[in-house]
Structure 1
Amino acid sequence: MVFSSGFALCAAITGAAALQVPFLSSNVQTPLGHPSGSKPLVNSTELQDLISGDRLMIRANKLYEIAKLGEEEFNHPTRVIGSAGHTGTLDYIYEEILKLGDYYDISNQSFPAVSGHVYESRLVLGDKVAQSAAPMGLTPPTKDREPVHGDLVLVENSGCQSTDFPDSVKGQIAFIQRGICPFGTKSEHAGRKGAIAAIVYNTEKDGVQGTLGNPSPYHIATFGLSGEEAEPIIQKLQKNKTIDAIAYIDAEVNTIHTNNIIAQTTQGDPENCVMLGAHSDSVAEGPGINDDGSGTISLIEVATQLTKFNVTNCVRFAWWAGEEEGLLGSDYYVATLSEKENAKIRLFMDYDMMASPNFAYQIYNATNAVNPHGSEELRDLYIDWYKSQGLNYTFIPFDGRSDYDGFIRNGIPGGGIATGAEAIKTKEEAEMFGGKAGSWLDPCYHQLCDDLGNVNVTAFVVSTKLIAHSVATYAKSLKGFPERELDIAASKVYGEGVKYHGSKLFI
């Protein structure tokens, strides 16, 4: 799930708004096997030519059928971790790679994942229902899963120290300003002081879609609230006026086990690996055919077509679990790498949401100034490809919203492309890419309607061809690409600028 909004367009290249790729309604697939019966060294143009909308959509249909396995438990299709839909997705990925024989070594990496689900919630402030109130991800429920009543207590500073919370918060509802430290820290301090619920309000007018992160026994039911709704409340509390509140959250947080799937070519230099990934899970609310079924499918298809070629450098594909819960799978993978294994990964490419209906061709604006060296060279590879195709593109912030985050923080160059989530398409973007200005790039982002009707085949094919190009380029040669600098991760600048961990704010 890529997540971006309100950012200026960074580059527009003259040319066609979108490559016109016909979608064939038949089920005819590109034959497998190189025509000569031999395997030449990987070639970008030849690999791109093997990508077809037909094959991508056949896989999308399969993935949607798999998502229906989640209906018994969730009453709608979903591929959220822990569901039958996600288990089916993992089986599908594994079986498709297994079909490719000894071209790949494939493995499952099991890890514990925290899964949270909010069933119902409501927040009443004074005599009004808070319209912007949103339960934090991984929040516990209110006591006994029943409404709790208390007065709002304004917390000093940003609630990052236990001393910010007055004793009077005991048995009441803490009202805390966003900023400085993670939401989970604020909730934990409030819980230790005896608060029955917490509200983190924004310092800007927008709402707060956040997560508490790793569970703590001291976390309490926690909401995010927009600055617009919070402002009049703050003014009253600062004048020592009393505002009572009712908070209600019915939720559960569980630890389950799920799997990353890793497939690495048996050929190619194992000391210089080109790595790319997509996440295999969806949110609980829907089947996730674009987010990130599209990236999952693109990687399967590129991995399939790559078997027609030899590679100079090893290529490692990864399908991460638990991305929607906070980048759990990719974080776990990178954290468990030894220093020696970390050094073998020359770069990581993230492919999350490749087929948004109201798309823009987006490139993460990863620069060497604040990221491990090589990130900017990868960014420039994407730029050059869009230019060569006569396609427009735009930059989006490289700010922790997808699975590249753990790699960058651990010194591995990274980057990626996307086609857009809940950002509003501007008039300029509509001129660049077509589509509808004023609407979300993905109108079904994190919703039930992220199904087969939520896929733009043109964007899907273009994005997958660019993935193929990135793989072919670096699998063939890393000449000119910066060597790994093992003592350098993301600079302090990156860490300070990152307020997201996955699709939700954590600070």
Structure 2
Amino acid sequence: MHSILPLLGATSLAGASVLQQALINPTNQVLFGSYDSKPLVSSEALEAQITEKNLRKRAEDLFSIAQEGVEEYNHPTRLTLCHTGHLATINYIYATIAELDDYYEISNQTFDAVVGNVFEYRLVLGDRQPDSVLAMSLTPPTPDKEAVFGPLVLVANDGCNESDFPATIKGAIALIKRGVCGFGDKSALAGKAGAIAAVVYNNENGSVSGTLGTPSKYHVASFGISNEDAQPLIKKLEAGDVIPSSAYMDAIVQKTGTTNIMAQTKGGDQENCVMLGGHSDSVAEGPGINDDGTGSLTLLEVATHLADYKVNNCVRFAWWAGEEEGLLGSDYYVSQLSKEENLKIRLFMDYDMMASPNYAYQVYNATDAANPVGSEELRNLYTNYYEAHGQNWTYIPFDGRSDYDAFIKNGIPGGGIATGAEGVKSENEVAMFGGKAGEWYDHCYHQLCDDLDNLAYDAWVMNTKLVAHSVATYAVSFKGFPKRTDVKMNDVSEPSIYHGPKLIM
């Protein structure tokens, strides 16, 4: 854990009234008092303190905080790069925990994050702009943020080797197939060969949106398009046609300091910790009240009520910065753990997007065969809970799209739940959960409309109670849960196509 460094940013603490509220248990008795006088936590007691009213109030507080981003971005946002909206978010979290009668040790972890934002872009290939065109995350702008012009040139193979780029690529826009290596590698090789921009086309159906990842001096303005849009162009190029093209990108990529917040119970066995986290940032496009305001606020609500109880095992809450830029906060946190500190974390639970309006109850399919041993037991805890409460559930891939990634890659059992992002709901899922088939689980995912009207409170309450159950279960006992003996035991070393919300390859 790091030293306690109070956050004293210039922004206000939106929703300060929340910090004034007395903590009330289900029988309306104020429980703040000496630690020894508190009862041992139980799932039943902790779940009973979760209410829709409290979650609504926290969501309203967070939306007020997001409004502080208007000064910088002309709309509400809590982007890591937004020094008002995001700083106000972590101040709010810190101050809320600090009010809990010295129950937690609160710590900050400040680190440098490479973040970016795309303000505007255009891509014209021949006589049209592809309908599917998307800008890559962490792309640099075109030179001087002006349009560049040149022929479209097809790159051989997958564009993963210097030899794939013909001499004619100099001064041209490179058209590169997705696959084998990362988008950042393709962009850097294109830039090194003299290309003025890079376009990656999908190797399967649909548009492609990803991130270039760690910046390179060779990166060029980079776009993604669908295979459907690319094939007519490829046929023309292979026939020897010249396709005059242009690209324009107004974007920034820069390094900024940001902060993770951790809160660990002072009670309980400090050598055996239950850990859970959610991310404190949003995307640039909107306030992020579902993504991941709901996860962040779920943790805050559970942490608030846990302070009424004793625990046998320590509980550590974490709020990560820079998740939307590629899991930066959680990656940094795990990278700084010594072997001894790593082994104290018995499991990590990730909570991202708890209230999607067209929701499904989704459980990460974290098996022991493919992940650190213990992940499957956590997975089963979630499914058993849904079944015990008469709810359906469905598995989703455990593929690196959220902050559990660094934990499982470093031997720590992990898992989590979600309610869906940009995926399309099936007819079968409508029969299981209600809602609308053929529409995204969250039609406002990564958009300005991810606001107070974008929440399914029934799902949020159910999932927050499940989070409370997961915390209470392991805070009482790890009986039967696999003991960790080595950091490298069953760690996940295979690369994934995701590292965060966006594709990396």
The normalised TM-score by structure 2 is 0.92
Q: Which stretch has the larger CA shift, 131-140 or 159-168?
A: 159-168
1:217 Cα deviation (Å)? 0.9
CA offsets 1:88-136 (integer angstroms, 9 cap, x no match): 1010000000001221000110011111111111111111111111110
1:36 Cα deviation (Å)? 10
The one-letter amino acid of 1:394's match is T
| 1:487 aligned partner | 488
2 CA distance for matches of 1:205 and 1:472?
44
| 1:182 aligned partner | 182
| 2:11 aligned partner | none
2 CA distance for matches of 1:244 and 1:442?
38
1:162 Cα deviation (Å)? 1.5
Verify the 8 A CA contact 1:178 1:201 in the aligned structure 2.
yes
2 CA distance for matches of 1:258 and 1:34?
35
Residue correspondence of structure 1 range 116-127 to structure 2 within 5 A? 116-127=116-127
Q: Alpha carbons of 1:268 and 1:192: their partners in 2 closer, same or farther (altered >3 Å)?
A: same
The one-letter amino acid of 2:77's match is T
Give SS of 2:290's match.
Answer: coil
1:29 Cα deviation (Å)? 7.9
CA offsets 1:392-430 (integer angstroms, 9 cap, x no match): 000100001100011111111100000111111111111
The one-letter amino acid of 1:52's match is T
| 1:57 aligned partner | 56
Q: Which stretch has the larger CA shift, 79-88 or 346-355?
A: 79-88
| 2:70 aligned partner | 71
| 2:10 aligned partner | none
Verify the 8 A CA contact 1:28 1:54 in the aligned structure 2.
no
2:499 is matched with which residue: 498, 501, 506?
501
| 2:6 aligned partner | none
The question of 1:338 aligning with 2:338 is answered: yes
The one-letter amino acid of 2:59's match is A
| 1:272 aligned partner | 272
1:263 Cα deviation (Å)? 0.4
1:28 Cα deviation (Å)? 11
1 CA distance for matches of 2:76 and 2:174?
37
1:164 Cα deviation (Å)? 1.5
Verify the 8 A CA contact 1:29 1:54 in the aligned structure 2.
no
2 CA distance for matches of 1:454 and 1:291?
10
1 CA distance for matches of 2:490 and 2:448?
38
Give SS of 1:249's match.
Answer: strand
Residue correspondence of structure 1 range 389-404 to structure 2 within 5 A? 389-404=389-404
2 CA distance for matches of 1:416 and 1:179?
28
Q: Which stretch has the larger CA shift, 76-85 or 27-36?
A: 27-36
Verify the 8 A CA contact 1:32 1:305 in the aligned structure 2.
no
CA offsets 1:49-105 (integer angstroms, 9 cap, x no match): 111111111111000101100011111111111321111101000000000122100
Give SS of 1:359's match.
Answer: coil
Residue correspondence of structure 1 range 220-231 to structure 2 within 5 A? 220-231=220-231
| 1:373 aligned partner | 373
The one-letter amino acid of 1:55's match is N
5+ unaligned residues in a row in structure 1: which ranges?
1-26
1:240 Cα deviation (Å)? 2.4
Residue correspondence of structure 1 range 112-151 to structure 2 within 5 A? 112-151=112-151
Q: Which stretch has the larger CA shift, 478-487 or 256-265?
A: 478-487
The question of 1:409 aligning with 2:409 is answered: yes
Residue correspondence of structure 1 range 70-469 to structure 2 within 5 A? 70-83=69-82, 84-469=84-469
Give SS of 1:207's match.
Answer: coil
1:491 Cα deviation (Å)? 4.0
1 CA distance for matches of 2:32 and 2:324?
41
The normalised TM-score by structure 1 is 0.92
1:238 Cα deviation (Å)? 2.0
2 CA distance for matches of 1:202 and 1:473?
44
2 CA distance for matches of 1:353 and 1:87?
21
> Percent sequence identity over matched residues?
60
Q: Alpha carbons of 1:36 and 1:490: their partners in 2 closer, same or farther (altered >3 Å)?
A: closer
5+ unaligned residues in a row in structure 2: which ranges?
1-20
CA offsets 1:135-166 (integer angstroms, 9 cap, x no match): 10000011111111111111111111122112
2 CA distance for matches of 1:336 and 1:71?
34
Give SS of 2:216's match.
Answer: coil
Verify the 8 A CA contact 1:132 1:207 in the aligned structure 2.
yes
1 CA distance for matches of 2:236 and 2:301?
58
Q: Alpha carbons of 1:394 and 1:96: their partners in 2 closer, same or farther (altered >3 Å)?
A: same
1:388 Cα deviation (Å)? 0.7
Aligned-pair RMSD on alpha carbons? Answer: 1.5
Verify the 8 A CA contact 1:348 1:412 in the aligned structure 2.
yes
1 CA distance for matches of 2:251 and 2:110?
25
2 CA distance for matches of 1:174 and 1:311?
58
The one-letter amino acid of 1:347's match is L
1:32 Cα deviation (Å)? 6.4
Give SS of 1:129's match.
Answer: coil
2 CA distance for matches of 1:176 and 1:488?
38
Which structure would you say has the larger RCO, counting Cα contacts within 8 Å and 6 or more residues apart? 1
1:489 Cα deviation (Å)? 4.3
1:239 Cα deviation (Å)? 2.3
1 CA distance for matches of 2:22 and 2:275?
30
Q: Which stretch has the larger CA shift, 365-374 or 420-429?
A: 420-429
Q: Alpha carbons of 1:315 and 1:35: their partners in 2 closer, same or farther (altered >3 Å)?
A: closer
Q: Which stretch has the larger CA shift, 30-39 or 126-135?
A: 30-39
1:440 Cα deviation (Å)? 1.2
Verify the 8 A CA contact 2:361 2:418 in the aligned structure 1.
yes
User: How many residues are treated as equivalent by the alignment?
Assistant: 478
The one-letter amino acid of 1:488's match is M
Verify the 8 A CA contact 2:23 2:32 in the aligned structure 1.
no
Q: Which stretch has the larger CA shift, 231-240 or 103-112?
A: 231-240
Q: Which stretch has the larger CA shift, 38-47 or 413-422?
A: 38-47
1:193 Cα deviation (Å)? 0.9
Verify the 8 A CA contact 1:280 1:321 in the aligned structure 2.
yes
1:246 Cα deviation (Å)? 0.7
Give SS of 2:325's match.
Answer: coil
2 CA distance for matches of 1:312 and 1:350?
21
